[in-house]
Amino acid sequence: MRGSEDVPTIDGAKVRKVVVACDAGMGSSVLVASQLAAALARYSVSVRHASVTEIPADADVVLCQEALVVRTSRVVPDKPVLGFRLFLGDPLFARLEQAIRNGVPLAG
């Protein structure tokens, strides 16, 4: 269990690569990644999808379904891991874009 002071954080303005992770990396993550890629392209942020066990080392922020956050955080303890509940229109997606645009810290 991490203490709150150990939660990985990144300045939204420094995010260059977002990875959407799911168990198999063949369905849910692909769908979310393609939506986010369109929204974040204007900020020169790339979006990739991956299975939880194959998250690229250069990912700045990792997104996954809420149920997978704990597992994903164990795999990439040094990266902010943010959970979403809805595939469409989850508030996290807007928050992520806003943080990237305005340079707000992202922690998770």
Stretch of 3-11, 30-38, 55-63, 73-81 contacting another protein, by CB under 8 A: 30-38
Q: Which is nearer to another protein, 11 or 54 (CB)?
A: 54
Provide CB contacts within 8 A for 102, sequence distance 6+. Answer: 12, 13
Starting at the earlier edge strand, list the strands of the sheet with 81-84.
46-51, 17-22, 61-65, 81-84
Determine which residue in the list 51, 75, 95, 97 makes contact with another protein, applying CB under 8 A: 51
Residue 67 Cβ, how far from another protein at the closest point, in Å? 5
**Catalytic annotation on 64?**
no
Each residue 69-108 as x (binds another protein by CB under 8 A) or -, in order, gives -----------------xxxx-------------------
Nearest of 72, 65, 70, 62 to residue 107 by alpha carbon: 62
Nearest of 3, 92, 1, 106 to residue 61 by alpha carbon: 106
Please calculate the CA angle 42-98-15 and round it to the nearest 5 degrees: 65
Q: Output the smallest distance, CB 25 to another protein, in A.
A: 7
For residue 41, what are its two tokens? 């392209």
**Residues binding another protein (CB under 8 A):** 23-28, 30-32, 34-35, 51-53, 65, 67-68, 86-89
Q: What are the residue numbers of the active site?
A: 22
